[in-house]
Amino acid sequence: MESRLDPFPQRFDRQVRFAGLGIEGQTRLAQARVLMVGCGALGGSLALYLHRAGVGELRLVDRDVVEPTNLPRQVLFDERHASERVPKVEAAAETLARGGGPTRVVPHARHLDARLLDELGRDVDLILDGTDNLATRYLVNDFAVRDRIPWIYGGVVGAGGMVMPIVPGHGPCLRCLFPQPAPPGSLETCDTAGVILPAVAAIAALQAGLALRLLGADEQGRASFKPALVQIDVWRGETHRIEVNRQTDCPCCGDGQYEFLESAELQEPTVLCGRNTVQLPASAVRPDLTALEQRLERAGARSVRRAGPLLRFGAEECEVTLFGDGRALIEGTEEPARAQAIYDRFLGA
């Protein structure tokens, strides 16, 4: 076994005894590098599972800080982290370190854009989705397909969620399933529809199991992997497995067009000088402002009001102005990461 496992001859005994891994599989885990995109409810649970499993390196990226509302479902954080508003990746790294083990944890408290994705993802063996918005998922899908890096899509809201592993060259990509992202604000988020911890745990466990299989498998095992979309509802106790076929006319894995990756390189948040405001660029799909107005009111956003082609509402200590093309002004901050987090909280998916 590799020297990385030598100080822990007993630690991984039960995993090594599992026929799906064995010594060779555990050794591959110890050599693996994983990029964890998002470190909240889903990402934090995933990080915990893979850290305990002995993955070689975990790169955590998340722009957000810990808040009190995170604590019922985000397992790596405590009240001190929330009261001090510690960056989620730093709090996660601190908690994981207390568990010991050989895994190297590298936190990045930054917004994931195309440049950072290339920097952190170019040499990883797997990318895990723990994010809370579609834009980042389509960005990751473009990058992963282009560079032929496996990734595992996962989403959770309310009492359920879905998971789909994506292995470029061996099955469909995200755009085979969802060719275009839904309009901003058209889908429920954890902040608008709520979420319960058992749903998070179920989705994270499925993602983690698939991750161990992909990372621990040899080339033959990976080539025989048959991805499918799995939906789980822990409230109803229902599970559905849906076969998804690769689409030959898929613009991403079929035609090699990486429009989300390329457009993301051109569009960045802008701090408006002297206005304590951040402008977020237009989205690829136009939002339905009428439907969004009704949803925001139900979700508890402050002072939701429509003004012709604009929609305004209060969020945290900020004022949000949403334009018909998806562009947004977040007044009350000069921090692009915070502005993006507020946008994703109410308008992401």
Task: Let me know: does 162 contact 240? Beta carbons within 8 Å.
Answer: no
Question: What was the pLDDT predicted at 2?
Answer: 46
E strands, the chain, in order: 33-37, 57-61, 104-108, 126-129, 151-157, 160-166, 229-233, 238-242, 270-272, 277-280, 302-307, 310-315, 318-323, 328-331
59 pLDDT band, cuts 50/70/90, is very high
- Mean pLDDT lowest among 264-268, 285-289, 300-304: 264-268
Instruction: Indicate whether 261 pLDDT > 50.
Output: yes
Digit-coded pLDDT (tens) for 132-167: 878 889 999 999 999 999 999 999 999 999 999 999
Question: What was the pLDDT predicted at 77?
Answer: 97
- Indicate the SS3 state at residue 215: helix
Helix (H) or strand (E) holding 178: none
- Six-digit token pair at 201? 């745990």
- Could you give the CA distance from residue 347 to residue 325 in angstroms, rounded to a whole number? 13
Digit-coded pLDDT (tens) for 69-105: 899 999 999 999 999 888 899 999 999 999 999 999 9
Task: Let me know: does 271 contact 236? Beta carbons within 8 Å.
Answer: no
Digit-coded pLDDT (tens) for 321-332: 888 878 888 999
Domains of the chain: 7-263 (3.40.50.720), 270-348 (3.30.310)
Question: What was the pLDDT predicted at 207?
Answer: 98
pTM score, two decimals? 0.80
267 pLDDT band, cuts 50/70/90, is low
- Could you give the CA distance from residue 121 to residue 2 in angstroms, rounded to a whole number? 24
CA 276 to chain centre: 28
Question: What was the pLDDT predicted at 306?
Answer: 84
Instruction: Indicate whether 3 pLDDT > 50.
Output: no
Digit-coded pLDDT (tens) for 276-300: 888 888 776 778 888 888 888 777 7
Question: What was the pLDDT predicted at 186?
Answer: 73
Percent of the chain with pLDDT over 90: 57
Nearest CA among 8, 5, 261, 231 for reference residue 140: 261
Digit-coded pLDDT (tens) for 177-215: 999 888 766 777 777 788 999 999 999 999 999 999 999
- Could you give the CA distance from residue 74 to residue 346 in angstroms, rounded to a whole number? 19
Q: Length of the chain, please?
A: 349
- Indicate the SS3 state at residue 191: helix
63 pLDDT band, cuts 50/70/90, is confident
- Could you give the CA distance from residue 84 to residue 65 in angstroms, rounded to a whole number? 9
